[in-house]
Structure 1
Amino acid sequence: MATKHTHVHRPKKKAQQEWSAKSPDVVGDQVRAALRQAMWRENIAPSDFDDLLWILTQESAGVVDARNSHSSARGLFQLLRAQYELNPHGEKSFGNAVEECQGGIHYIYGRYHSAKKAREFWQQHHWY
C-alpha cells in the first residue's frame, strides 16, 4: 500500500541567465581618453587598448569610482581593498579616471603580464 507524500518541496530555482559581454560602446569618451592617458603614462602599447577597454567595460561599464555592494571592489577596474595601493595615490585615486586606469593597468600587467591574457582569463571565469 502506497503512503501519501507529506513533506513540502522547495520551489525550483530559476535557471541562471546565460552571461553575455557588455559592449564597450557603453563607455563614454572621457573614460576612453582617461584610459589612453593612463596607457601613455604607464608605457603600454596602444594595441592593448581594446583588451583593456573590454575588461573595464565588464567590470564597471565605465563608471568612475564604481562600487560593488557585495565586496570592497571599487573603481573602473574594480580593484579590491588589497589592491587599492596599485593606484598612484592609493584609495585617494578613486574618482580620478586616469589614476583608476593606472591602478587597473598595474594589476593586470602584474598578475597576467598582458591585457590579452587578462581578457582571456576574464572570458573563461567572468572575473579576473
Structure 2
Amino acid sequence: MDKFKFEKLIIWQRAMDFGETIDGLANSFPEKEKFNLSSQIRRAADSIALNISEGSIGQTNLEQKKFLGCAIRSLAEVVTCLYKSEKRNYITKPKFNQLYEEAYQLMNMLIAFRKNVK
C-alpha cells in the first residue's frame, strides 16, 4: 500500500526504526532531561526520516541531496547526544556501542544514497 516514493526506501524504513529506538531510549532518561537531552535526541532522530521523505517528494536532485545532507547532520546530532547520554550514565557502554553502530551503518547508507542521486 505504499503510495509515497519514500515508503519504499529501505533507508527511510531504517531511519524510522532508528527513531523509534531512540524514542524508547529517551523515555529512560531522568525527568530532569525531559526538556533537554530527551527532547533534543528525539527531535534529531525524527529529523533523519523526515528529511529523507521531504527530499524524495517532487524535489530536484540538488534539493534531494540538500535534504539528505540535513539527515546526515541530524544523525551526527544523535550521535553527540548518545555520547552525552553515556557520559551522564543514562546508558551503558554496551548500549552506546550498539546504537553507535546502528548510527554508523545508517550514515553510510545515507552517504551512499546521496552519492547515487543524479
Whichever of the two has the greater Rg, that structure is: 1
Higher RCO structure (Cα 8 Å, ≥6 apart) = 2
**TM bucket, shorter chain:** under 0.3
**Quick check: which one's helix share is greater?**
2
TM-score of the aligned structures, taking structure 1 as reference length = 0.26
